């Protein structure tokens, strides 16, 4: 049982380049989330999904896009990379909220640098 996996672990992009951060979970969780973590800051929610085919914006969605074609996968797309997108990106998943043991399971993160 791998939990939440993310690829790549590290990436350096030039300004204006595009890339997709991959996230996969094998726990059959309906809910999935993308966060970014800047130095000295808490995690900020970028996008989330409540199930295949359903996505919604979080707190800081500008410059990103997502899709959710399957329960397992939730890729995050950066179309025109900017230095402000230099950050560590975390993917997470959870069962339906409202369960007494509700909690989010996190992947190991992708460290992205845009220069």
Partner 1 sequence: KQEVTQIPAALSVPEGENLVLNCSFTDSAIYNLQWFRQDPGKGLTSLLLIQSSQREQTSGRLNASLDKSSGRSTLYIAASQPGDSATYLCAVRPRDDYKLSFGAGTTVTVRA
CB of 83 to partner 1, least distance (A): 21
Indicate whether 28 belongs to the interface with partner 1 (CB under 8 A).
no
Sequence-distant contacts of 56-64: CB under 8 A, at least 24 apart: 58/33, 58/34, 60/36, 64/34
CB of 106 to partner 1, least distance (A): 4
Closest to partner 1 by CB, 74 vs 90, is 90
Indicate whether 90 belongs to the interface with partner 1 (CB under 8 A).
yes
Indicate whether 58 belongs to the interface with partner 1 (CB under 8 A).
yes
β pairing state of 31-37 and 43-51: antiparallel
Interacting residues of 72 by C-beta distance below 8 A, sequence separation 6+? 24, 25, 26
CB of 96 to partner 1, least distance (A): 9
Q: Tokens in use for 70?
A: 């399957």
- Which of 11-19, 64-72, 79-87, 105-113 is the region at the interface with partner 1 (rule: CB under 8 A)? 105-113
Say if residues 112 and 11 touch (Cβ distance below 8 Å): yes
Indicate whether 109 belongs to the interface with partner 1 (CB under 8 A).
yes
């Amino acid at each position: 049982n791998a939990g939440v996996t993310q690829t790549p672990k590290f990436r350096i992009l030039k300004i204006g380049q595009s890339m997709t951060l991959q996230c996969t979970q094998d726990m059959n969780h309906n809910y999935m989330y993308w966060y970014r973590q800047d130095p000295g800051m808490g995690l900020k929610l970028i996008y989330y999904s409540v199930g295949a085919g359903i996505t919604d914006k979080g707190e800081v969605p500008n410059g990103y896009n997502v899709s959710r074609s399957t329960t397992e996968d939730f890729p995050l797309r950066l179309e025109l990379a900017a230095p402000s997108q230099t950050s560590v990106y975390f993917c997470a998943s959870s069962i339906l909220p409202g369960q007494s043991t509700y909690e989010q399971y996190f992947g190991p993160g992708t460290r992205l640098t845009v220069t």
